[in-house]
A and B are shown apart, each in its own frame.
Chain A
């Protein structure tokens, strides 16, 4: 189950091994990018992600792993729903994100986004259920954005939209987190 990456392996091959999708299926119609709500902030449009996978050279792969786009993807599934080839782009992007993390190639602009997801997972690992104050606290420490949303918290507390204490359900999930990191591959 653990991911044994062959260092010589191309990203397209890794994507294929993890998702069963062949990047060559994409014929660059651009429908994915046309409907992507996150495209406004992306450095590489979704169809270009597919194109770079097809190119497959070391520099194309590097460009993909260091792109900001892979972190902006909202997993909204607009692209694959409209893709004439039914290519699961958000599934592919998930593979690219974990590979980017694993190789330490994360785009510096994505620091906050990655910090958010890491804080989320840490929170679940510790408490078993999401504790929002803990999540926001850890996010602030990781990003040093101490003042962000400082005005939101008091009204959330008044509206009782935040619990002051975490529930202690960590033991429920400790087994799930006891293994090392790694992606589960499909066995097809």
Chain B
């Protein structure tokens, strides 16, 4: 399947392992990704706070670039970017006046039909039964699927039908052999952009998430958002300082878990870039016959 790709800034920096793992599994999923040329930052967590018009124009320019490059669908792996692009698209579609103003701001036409897709939608579509059958390994671990806010809210903007209890990621993880836990923090906020100015609040919120996942027996938390990842992984020492508790629970991207099931090495998937070490391995689907037995038969 051919699809446009808007990587967004964090996938070139602090979340580069998310990009690495996505690019590594894409060909195995018959996903032909073509990057939107000349893309700019979507303004993520700050533009809407400082200047509403800019918060629409930045994503609008990305949408217009995708249209210019004749992309019908664009995958936006970063949940924060996905949310900004979907919000802008929603607001532009709802109000012709706003659309006209923004179009003038970017000096580009905005009559588009490009669909914005998040990583879970796309993986759900391309992990077909045939592909699942061809995957050599399983990932037989108990995991907590953490969606955060940006992938599920606001529901009408991001098209999520179960914003309080989403199940797409759980379904994907089960397809590769994992067990998923039932827990209460699936869509609780991680503290998002307060990571730098109010690290203590991020510590409290992420502490609750890690604790619930741990108590319910998860071996890892699976995420699909660079911000959730860095708050839960990179900010671990602050979480421990704020809560006074130690957590060894690793946090991995869904693309990394799938890559492991495909038999890719942790290094190719960028797992060594995480702050909290991950020791979980995938296992071969068909256990090899013990050598000794083979020699004897």
A-to-B contact residues, CB < 8 Å: 1, 18, 37-38, 40-41, 72, 74-78, 80-81, 88, 94-95, 97-98, 101, 112-113, 115-118, 120-121, 124, 128-132, 136, 139, 143, 148-149, 152, 155-156, 159-163, 167, 169, 172-173, 175-177, 179, 181-184, 186-188
Contact A117–B49 (Cβ < 8 Å): yes
Question: A10: shortest Cβ distance to chain B, in Å?
Answer: 19
Q: Most chain-B Cβ atoms within 10 A of its Cβ — which of A40, A161, A173?
A: A161
Contact A188–B95 (Cβ < 8 Å): yes
Query: Which residues on A sit within 8 Å (CB–CB) of B9?
Result: 129-132
9 additional A-B pairs beyond A75-B48, A130-B9, A130-B41, beta carbons within 8 Å, are A81-B154, A98-B49, A116-B197, A120-B46, A148-B199, A156-B234, A159-B273, A159-B275, A187-B95
Asked if B251 is an interface residue, CB under 8 A from chain A, the answer is: no
Question: A127: shortest Cβ distance to chain B, in Å?
Answer: 8
Total A-B pairs, Cβ < 8 A: 172
- Chain B residue, CB-CB nearest to A120: B46
Query: Which residues on A sit within 8 Å (CB–CB) of B111?
Result: none
Mask, B45-64, CB within 8 Å of A = 1, is 11111111110111001000
Contact A129–B98 (Cβ < 8 Å): no
Interface of B is mostly: helix
Query: Which residues on A sit within 8 Å (CB–CB) of B296?
Result: none
Question: A83: shortest Cβ distance to chain B, in Å?
Answer: 11
Query: Which residues on B sit within 8 Å (CB–CB) of A98?
Result: 49-52
- Chain B residue, CB-CB nearest to A35: B188
- Answer whether A124 and B58 are a contact pair too, CB < 8 Å, given A97-B49, A184-B98: yes
CA distance A42 to B270 in the complex (A): 38
Query: Which residues on A sit within 8 Å (CB–CB) of B15?
Result: 161
Asked if B142 is an interface residue, CB under 8 A from chain A, the answer is: no
Question: A28: shortest Cβ distance to chain B, in Å?
Answer: 22
Please report which residues of chain B, range 11-39, place their CB below 8 angstroms from some CB of chain A when the two chains form the complex: 12-16, 38-39
Contact B204–A40 (Cβ < 8 Å): yes
Contact A76–B155 (Cβ < 8 Å): no
Contact B53–A169 (Cβ < 8 Å): no
Query: Which residues on A sit within 8 Å (CB–CB) of B106?
Result: 175-176
CA distance A159 to B54 in the complex (A): 33
- Answer whether A78 and B153 are a contact pair too, CB < 8 Å, given A37-B188, A113-B198, A184-B101: yes
Asked if B218 is an interface residue, CB under 8 A from chain A, the answer is: no
Contact A163–B12 (Cβ < 8 Å): yes
Contact B205–A37 (Cβ < 8 Å): yes
Q: Which 4 A-B pairs have the closest CB atoms?
A: A187-B97, A130-B9, A120-B46, A77-B153
- Answer whether A169 and B40 are a contact pair too, CB < 8 Å, given A78-B153, A129-B9, A187-B95: yes
